[in-house]
Amino acid sequence: MSIVYDWKVNIDDNELEEICSFLEKGELVVFPTETVYGIGADAFNGQACKKIFEAKGRPSDNPLIVHISDLDMLMDCVKNINGVEKKLIDAFMPGPFTLILEKKNSIPNEVTASLDTVAIRMPNNKIANKIIKKFGKPIAAPSANKSGKPSGTKIEDIKEELDSSVYAFIDGGDTEIGLESTVVRVIDNIPVILRPGAITKEDILNVIGAVNVDKHVLNNVEKDEKVLSPGMKHKHYAPKTRCVLLDIKDSQEKKDISEQLKNENVIVLGLEKDKSNYSQISFESIGKNLEEFSKNIFTKLRKIDEEGYNLILIESVSVDGIGLAIMNRIIRTCGYNIINNKNQVADYIENR
């Protein structure tokens, strides 16, 4: 049984010492960041980092993100930072931003899947930052969840599935953003977004004057297709219940779908403003705006997954701002299964 430390109000200095001692011994600790909860280990200890893959059931070719507390720690991990990368670091660290850089030999191959690069992030969360600073070394920490499942944005969502695998949980309350960090790699002096997050393409454009979005952010990876980030190849964010993206803009067509499905065991997840379109079937609001949608989506998926529906339909959103990150997550949650018109709903009913 893991230890749970409640730091929602205050960080206990004695417990902080204990957490650092666990990490020093090669144990795993779950802690909050401003994005989602992370499952962390000493980033300089390859054997400890292997435990992360075992705890999550994570494919070994999917590298970990290394979390740092300051720029001195950054230089312990990477080398050959160019001018564009320096501007990105200055603009977005600390924050929900991850940058892929050339690694030093201090970072073991277990962290990077034997690549010559490492993903670096400086969280802007007082608990995460204080742990890393007190520990004095970077902490490798992907999202705290079983691989393929929705990420954890509160301890209650993830404790049961990880309880036997980690030494301690730090409860910092609900995370602020709810989606993982933006991941960027600079190619030919242009930032390329490999995973969108709260730092948007518009934010990066304002700083650098140029930005590209990798085509796999919104599109599936074909068999044997090369990708810039190994994580793009793997399943993410999916509950047990089948999910389908509902990409329809017309309100009347949404009402027609509601009528079609009124005798089916389905639920729609979407923004509060869309509730009136689905009066014939169950509807769960994820929030009044995209920021609330971002914060709530993973917890809502976990909740709905326990309620016995045969199908979850998730409303699409605009890809502007943080909408791109939301669409990236829900498209992958739905396994790239998309309903574009009411006739496709009829096909589902006939072939369920």
pLDDT at site 238:
80
Q: Compute the distance between CA of residue 235 and CA of residue 222 in angstroms, rounded to an integer.
A: 13
- Are 214 and 251 contained in the same domain? no
234 domain-assigned: no
- Are 270 and 127 contained in the same domain? no
> Which pLDDT tens digit goes with each residue over 157-199?
999 999 999 999 999 999 999 999 999 999 999 999 999 999 9
271 domain-assigned: yes
Amino acid present at 324: L
pLDDT at site 1:
77
Q: Compute the distance between CA of residue 147 and CA of residue 335 in angstroms, rounded to an integer.
A: 15
Q: Compute the distance between CA of residue 333 and CA of residue 145 in angstroms, rounded to an integer.
A: 14
Q: Are strands 282-287 and 97-103 parallel, antiparallel or unpaired?
A: unpaired
236 domain-assigned: no
Hey, how many other C-beta atoms are within 10 angstroms of the C-beta on 300? 21
Q: Compute the distance between CA of residue 26 and CA of residue 12 in angstroms, rounded to an integer.
A: 21
The predicted model scores a pTM of 0.94
- Are 83 and 155 contained in the same domain? yes
- Are 195 and 283 contained in the same domain? no
Q: From 202, 229, 256, give the residue that closes a domain.
A: 229
237 domain-assigned: no
86 domain-assigned: yes
pLDDT at site 99:
98
238 domain-assigned: no
Single out the residue of 193, 194, 216, 188 nearest to residue 203, CA to CA: 193
- Token pair for residue 305? 């997954």
Half-sphere exposure of 181 (CA within 13 A, CB side): 30
324 domain-assigned: yes
Query: Is the Cα torsion angle 67, 2, 127, 195 positive or negative in sign?
Result: positive
235 domain-assigned: no
Instruction: Give me the residues of the chain with pLDDT under 50, please.
Output: none
Q: From 199, 229, 259, give the residue that closes a domain.
A: 229
Q: Give the single-character DSSP code of 183.
A: E
- Are 43 and 186 contained in the same domain? yes
* Domain of 39, in residue numbers: 3-229
Q: Give the single-character DSSP code of 143.
A: B
**Burial bucket for residue 25 (CB in 10 Å: 0-12, 13-18, 19+):** exposed
* Cβ atoms of residues 113 and 61 within 8 Å: yes
| Pure H helices in the chain | 13-24, 46-56, 71-77, 83-92, 109-112, 126-135, 155-162, 201-208, 251-260, 290-305, 323-333, 342-351
- Are 307 and 262 contained in the same domain? yes
Q: Which CATH number belongs to the domain containing residue 323 in this structure? A: 3.40.50.11030
Q: From 207, 229, 251, give the residue that closes a domain.
A: 229
Domain count for the chain: 2
Residues for the chain: how many in total?
352
CA-CA-CA-CA torsion for 273, 277, 280, 283, nearest 10 degrees?
-30
- Are 217 and 284 contained in the same domain? no
- Are 165 and 289 contained in the same domain? no
- Are 216 and 253 contained in the same domain? no
- Are 22 and 127 contained in the same domain? yes
pLDDT at site 224:
63
Q: Which CATH number belongs to the domain containing residue 131 in this structure? A: 3.90.870.10
> Which pLDDT tens digit goes with each residue over 204-213?
999 999 999 9
- Are 164 and 267 contained in the same domain? no
Q: Give the single-character DSSP code of 152.
A: P
- Are 149 and 195 contained in the same domain? yes
pLDDT at site 237:
75
Which residues contact residue 77 at a Cβ distance below 8 angstroms, ignoring those fewer than 6 apart? Answer: 43, 66, 68, 101, 103, 104, 106, 107, 118, 120, 138
pLDDT at site 231:
62
